[in-house]
Structure 1
Amino acid sequence: MASQRLTLIIFLLSLFKLSSSSLNNAAGITVYWGQNSEESDLLSTCETGNYKIVILAFLNQFGGGKTPAWDFGGHCDKGSGKKCTELESQIKYCQKKRIKVFLSIGGNLGNSDYSLNSPEEAKEVAKYIFNNFLSGKYGPLGSVKLDGIDFFIQKTEDYWDNLVKELDSLRPTISHPFSLSAAPSCLTYPIPFLGKAIATKLFDYVFVRFYDKSSCSYVSGTNALLDSWDKWVDLVASPNLLFVGLPASPDAGEGYIPPEILIGEVLPYAKLASNYGGVMLWDRYRDAKTRYSDKILFDVTKSNVPVSEALSDKIYLCVSKALNRGLDY
């Protein structure tokens, strides 16, 4: 019976080969960079060829009348948060290799001080971010036009939706397009901190962090993770892309998934979603040590991931659900 179900699943999946292959071929790996001085520099990170998006982490001080500042783990200016113009040439090198470079705002609470206290303040912060990191004018990172702004928010719920809307309103004002992304916890009801912002539906990428929350990460097995993935698929409408966010080593927190489990049990199911975008890794320092991205790269970016029989029931239900709804995977 199991083999019959698996045969049916493979047949059904083949019906969607044309539509899914173009999506999966566009999928890739996103990595956070800048939180450890012992990781490779930005240029070397992009030279690996493993990443489609590299996120600079973090702009970790802004709002509340504070002078904006950042912490890139000692990679520049000894972490003083004043200037980091030596990154300009490295950012442009990555972009020439067609690797997108984002800036993440927020970050872990231990070394950050950020907040928004009103819609007016959200507007001012949006102007600062736009002028200094997106417009091409000379700013803290030199004369750069970053490809996106990422929201890695772990503090309050208020006014992040206003900031998203303000940044979105600035997109048509320049020829160089930029994206907006969010990195929420895998919890969905309610979504901590970013619920209102995600409800705007203005994020082009959502890097769901399937770690540090046992109820929706691999700590509770693949079923808990994939059940949470289903909820996020419903929350994030296509064409906005949804990523499986994971730690790149066991010491990065709860939720580490051995590469063989990710390849055999998680990715085949995740790829059934029409808005599957790939895998997000925390972070470059750990990935450089474990070579996690090397081990999963082919299976993240290609559509021909083997379907394990252990997942046949869940995939069958997913495909049946899609057919019943008339969705095109």
Structure 2
Amino acid sequence: MAIKSAISFAFISSLILVLVSGTNAGDIAIYRGQNRNEGTLAETCATGNYGFVNLAFLPTFGNGQTPMINLAGHCDPYSNGCTNLSSDIRSCQAKGIKVMLSIGGGAGYYLASSHDDRQVATYLWNNFLGGQSVSRSFGNAILDGIDFNIKGGTNQHWDDLARYRFGYSKHGDTKVYLTAAPQCPFPDAWVGGALKIGLFYYVWVQFYNNPTCQCTAGLPASPEAAVADLSLYLISLLKYFLPSMLWSRYYDDQSGYSSAIKSYV
């Protein structure tokens, strides 16, 4: 499957908009999980603004490590406290919203070999997707896919992980999505090789923290000013690049940006 192309813009406040070409209109993807003041997952989906919710992050995995999610105070994975999210996840999915697990983010992950990749893929399948495990982080809720938000470790073996992960999706009747969020310099230093294999359904390119390609000149310095000014700039592009992705639910809640662009996507 061909990789969908993408372009994005960023607020200085870290509110990120990624517009993806060649997809169905009407879907806004949001990253959620790294700010405890962003409300519940059920509240996120109840806004009616989002088609995808990326739960961020699973930052610890690979190289013999015990995988561990980190949702920044929303729940305690060490006491199985995140299983309480299962009802919220199913509530989102009942509304037609795809709920994804985003792996990576900050430091802590490392793939040592193709054997390591297979173990991680098996873990993801059994603990978050259609497999079975006695220690499923989100209980019996089955997520819709895996998002690769890779910014560390090495650039090796991510293609193998995608292949193994995609292979497991053939065991069930439900479509399992693979998405990725590479940095804007091409090819991406971490997952550039993995993107070449053509297994990712959506690619959200991150045009921020990269001076050579980030869009900052002339943009407002605060989210309060950004909604009106940046929306006018982007609306003319939305008919060419759909849908959109935002970082993050907290910043979107502060700015109201998804509400401002919803009718255009």
TM-score bin (small chain): 0.7 to 0.9
| Equivalent of residue 259 in structure 1, options 223, 227, 245 | 227
Aligned-partner Cα distance in 2 for 1:116–1:24: 31
Could you tell me which amino acid in structure 1 is paired with residue 147 of structure 2? Answer: D
| Equivalent of residue 92 in structure 1, options 90, 94, 102 | 90
| Residue in 2 that maps onto 1:238 | none
User: Residues 203, 63 of structure 1: CA spacing in aligned structure 2 closer, same or farther, 3 A cutoff?
Assistant: same
| Residue in 1 that maps onto 2:101 | 103
| Equivalent of residue 263 in structure 2, options 263, 286, 298 | 298
Work out whether residues 136 and 143 of structure 1, in 8 Å CA contact, stay in contact via their aligned partners in 2. Answer: no
The range that moved more, 132-141 or 160-169, is 132-141
| Residue in 2 that maps onto 1:203 | 200
% same residue: 40
1:26 and 2:21 correspond: no
Q: Secondary structure at the match of 1:143?
A: coil
User: Residues 115, 26 of structure 1: CA spacing in aligned structure 2 closer, same or farther, 3 A cutoff?
Assistant: same
Work out whether residues 147 and 178 of structure 2, in 8 Å CA contact, stay in contact via their aligned partners in 1. Answer: yes
Aligned-partner Cα distance in 1 for 2:23–2:156: 35
Deviation at 1:216, TM superposition (A): 1.5
User: Residues 205, 267 of structure 1: CA spacing in aligned structure 2 closer, same or farther, 3 A cutoff?
Assistant: farther
1:129-149 deviation line (CA, Å, top 9, x unaligned): 011111153511101211110
Could you tell me which amino acid in structure 2 is paired with residue 287 of structure 1? Answer: D
User: Residues 95, 264 of structure 1: CA spacing in aligned structure 2 closer, same or farther, 3 A cutoff?
Assistant: same
Aligned-partner Cα distance in 2 for 1:279–1:75: 25
Aligned-partner Cα distance in 2 for 1:206–1:187: 14
Could you tell me which amino acid in structure 2 is paired with residue 49 of structure 1? Answer: G
| Residue in 2 that maps onto 1:159 | 157
Q: Secondary structure at the match of 1:295?
A: helix
The range that moved more, 276-285 or 30-39, is 276-285
User: Residues 163, 83 of structure 1: CA spacing in aligned structure 2 closer, same or farther, 3 A cutoff?
Assistant: farther
Deviation at 1:221, TM superposition (A): 6.0
Work out whether residues 24 and 242 of structure 2, in 8 Å CA contact, stay in contact via their aligned partners in 1. Answer: no
Q: Secondary structure at the match of 1:218?
A: coil
Deviation at 1:214, TM superposition (A): 2.4
More helix by share: 1
1:44 and 2:48 correspond: no
| Residue in 1 that maps onto 2:64 | 65
- TM-score between both structures, scaled by the size of structure 1: 0.68
Aligned-partner Cα distance in 2 for 1:27–1:52: 8
Aligned-partner Cα distance in 2 for 1:25–1:104: 22
Deviation at 1:282, TM superposition (A): 0.7
Work out whether residues 101 and 148 of structure 1, in 8 Å CA contact, stay in contact via their aligned partners in 2. Answer: yes
| Residue in 2 that maps onto 1:278 | 243
Moved over 4 A (4+): none
Work out whether residues 33 and 72 of structure 2, in 8 Å CA contact, stay in contact via their aligned partners in 1. Answer: yes
Question: Where do 5+ consecutive residues of structure 1 fail to align?
Answer: 1-22, 223-248, 302-329
Q: Secondary structure at the match of 1:269?
A: helix
Where does 1:140-289 land on structure 2 (aligned, <5 Å)? Answer: 140-155=137-152, 156-188=154-186, 190-220=187-217, 250=222, 258-269=226-237, 271-272=239-240, 276-289=241-254
1:45-90 deviation line (CA, Å, top 9, x unaligned): 000001000010001100111101010011112x547551000000
Question: Where do 5+ consecutive residues of structure 2 fail to align?
Answer: 1-21
Could you tell me which amino acid in structure 1 is paired with residue 163 of structure 2? Answer: K
Work out whether residues 137 and 144 of structure 1, in 8 Å CA contact, stay in contact via their aligned partners in 2. Answer: no
Report how many residues are paired: 240
Rg larger for: 1
1:15-37 deviation line (CA, Å, top 9, x unaligned): xxxxxxxx676342110111011
Aligned-partner Cα distance in 2 for 1:257–1:127: 45
Work out whether residues 59 and 109 of structure 2, in 8 Å CA contact, stay in contact via their aligned partners in 1. Answer: yes
